[in-house]
Chain A
Amino acid sequence: MNSIDTPIEIAGVGLHPFGRFDHRSTTELGIAAVRAAIAEAGITRRTHFQAAFCGTAYAGVAAGHKVLSALGLTGGPIVDVEAGCASGAAALSLGAHAIRSGEADTVVVFGLEKMPKGMIRSTFFEPWREEAGLSATPAYFALRAQRLMRERNITEADLAEVVVKNRQHGVLNPDAMFRKAVTVEDVLASRPVCGPLRLFMLCSPNEGAAAVVLRRCPSGSNSGGTVPRVLLRAAVLRSHLPGNVLGEATPLCGLVDDDDLPSPTALAAQAAYSEAGIGPDDLNLVECQDTDAARELLAYEELGLCRPGENAALARSPRSRLGGARPINVSGGLLSKGEPLGASALGQVVELVRQVRGQAGDRQVAGATVGLAHTVGRGANASAVIVTR
């Protein structure tokens, strides 16, 4: 079968919590996540899968090989995938393609990272641009936030509401780094980083790993087990179109007429909705990129969750919170979990799978069967993943 219609099952998921783990190597984080995922999928030997893809931006040479070597699971192709904040989703997309192409029946996909502390140094920038002071990532976030606030009538208190929502959700997630609720006042009193963004409005780069096992669905069969079968309905990666000076591509130059330019997130979401035959109104929950609080508000309109201008109203609405019709970042988001680049996208997918299986514990979205996960970052790279029961 060589078709986009090939049904793909997510046969197992695993997660190493996100946080700081000074005495554990990147490889050890990956091993924990992969072991959990392959155990769920019943993989015990190297012949049980035909390819592996490992998302990472900072783990260096052969990061995926090191994990599978430790588990005696080498022999097939192992490919490390770098796509910035979307690295894990890029690995997932390649895994799905490997199955659709007919080359593989079962694929192990994982992502891992130990981010350096503090502001992230990226080889993306030429040394002269660093010397000139034009590589300050938080300033790019701040400029993007300013534009959104200006054009969508968003206030600093609205940004704080996003943080309050996600941190409230994070209290219920044992795998998150920050599990303490905050108030609007706390957020607005936190240290200014780059106006309008304050410390609590920015996610923390950190450490973690996540893994999923993809498997071609045997035709006509049901899972037969007690755990409902979960399908990967779309795993789309897109890059940017040129023109937006404040886009995640962080160019030196943009065009003034960029208003109607589709963002990489919009491109990925449109393709994913089309591929899955599912629209924003069908979603029971959404995990979206909240690198900073304004980034989440921008994602709302890019993903079709609201019309432009309704961003703040949606963040404040009970609809976007646990117990509402379509909670957003019920895992706590990156603002609670932190962001290990290679692992974060797959961490979202693990959340969606647990939710549609009904295994999400205290933060279970009642009756969830359809979820969307979104990442976007340097490159630009954006991903949209749709999971259904």
Chain B
Amino acid sequence: MTETTAADANPPPVHPDLFVSIAGGETALLGMRCEGCQRCSFPRADVCCWCGHDDVTSVTLSSRATLWGWAEVHTPPPGYHGAVPYGMGVAELPEGIRVVTRVEIDQPHLLRFGAPVRFVTTEVAADDGSTRLTWSVEPLPASVSSRTEPEPDAEPEPEPTTTIDANR
């Protein structure tokens, strides 16, 4: 897989080390896996946000996901200088995590709960008016969607060894 770090991209990303471009014009988020609880998370950090363990390794997360909800934002929130309306939602990744993401909303007929999506990049504007790149998801065309459904037997994720414990 050819990877281009977003930091090398032009325009620059909103923040370094959040995502990379991969083959086929797709984008993948840069996450991490904790060796303590075996869970993945995003974005990368020195310590696992689920269990506090600091034995973590970087992983490139799956570029395909399923849509787990989206909403259309009509009024620019404070500090946002990009176009409106735009989509904001949650994508569920095969790594067992859900991430907050922009959602491309120009094909609304493909947007439904559970729809297959892929990560892409999209342009936004920074405080100083310059262009920045951030991540987003777009629905996959119906013709390829069947290939993206996660297969039950395909490379099972390691079972988490700990659960989130209310009494911890």
Contact = CB atoms under 8 A, between A and B. Distances in A.
Interface in B11-66: 14-15, 31, 39, 41-43, 49-50
Interface in B100-144: 100-102, 113, 124-127, 132, 134-135
B41 A135 contact: no
- Identify the interface centre among A121, A128, A143, A261: most chain B CB within 10 Å of its CB: A128
B7 interface: no
A255 B39 contact: yes
Query: A interface, how many residues as a size bin?
Result: 35 or more
B131 to A, nearest CB: 10
B102 to A, nearest CB: 6
B42 to A, nearest CB: 4
Contacts of B3: none
Given A142-B71, A256-B97, A133 B166 contact: no
A132 B100 CA distance: 11
B79 A253 contact: no
- Identify the interface centre among B81, B100, B125: most chain A CB within 10 Å of its CB: B100
A194 B74 contact: yes
A127 interface: yes
Given A131-B134, A147-B69, A246-B90, A126 B15 contact: yes
A194 B72 contact: yes
A360 B70 CA distance: 42
B73 A243 contact: no
A120 B77 CA distance: 8
A137 to B, nearest CB: 7
A118 B79 CA distance: 13
Contact of B99 (A129, A136, A146, A252): A252
Contacts of B49: 242, 251, 253
Contacts of A139: 71, 73, 88
Contact of B90 (A150, A194, A245): A245
Contacts of A255: 39, 50, 96-98, 164
B88 A243 contact: no
A258 B166 CA distance: 12
B78 interface: yes
Given A126-B15, A137-B77, A194-B73, A131 B127 contact: yes
B71 A135 contact: no
A279 to B, nearest CB: 19
A256 B96 contact: yes
A257 interface: yes
A136 B127 contact: no
Interface in A218-237: none
Contact of B89 (A130, A131, A143, A241): A143
Nearest to B135: A132
A134 interface: yes
Contact of B98 (A119, A121, A136, A256): A256
B164 A253 contact: no
Contacts of A133: 73, 77, 80, 82, 86, 88, 102, 124, 134
A258 B90 CA distance: 14
A246 B102 CA distance: 15
Contacts of A253: 31, 41-43, 49, 97-100
A256 B80 contact: no
B125 A134 contact: no
Contacts of B88: 133-134, 136, 139, 143
Contact of A257 (B78, B96, B99): B96
Contacts of B77: 119, 130, 133, 135-137
A62 interface: no
A258 B125 CA distance: 34
Contacts of B125: 131
B71 A130 contact: no
A254 B90 CA distance: 10
Given A131-B80, A131-B81, A119 B75 contact: yes
Contacts of A195: 71-72
Interface string A89-118: 000000000000000000000000000001
Given A119-B77, A135-B78, A255-B39, 17 more contacts: A118-B78, A120-B78, A125-B79, A126-B15, A131-B132, A133-B80, A133-B88, A133-B102, A133-B134, A134-B88, A136-B80, A241-B166, A246-B69, A252-B43, A254-B90, A256-B92, A256-B98
25 contacts: A119-B78, A127-B79, A127-B127, A130-B77, A131-B14, A131-B79, A131-B80, A131-B125, A131-B134, A132-B124, A132-B132, A133-B124, A135-B78, A136-B80, A136-B88, A138-B71, A139-B88, A143-B69, A192-B74, A194-B73, A243-B164, A253-B98, A255-B98, A257-B163, A262-B166
Interface of A: 118-121, 125-139, 142-143, 146-147, 150, 192-195, 241-243, 245-246, 250-258, 261-262, 267
Interface of B: 14-15, 31, 39, 41-43, 49-50, 69-75, 77-82, 86, 88-90, 92, 96-102, 113, 124-127, 132, 134-135, 160, 163-164, 166
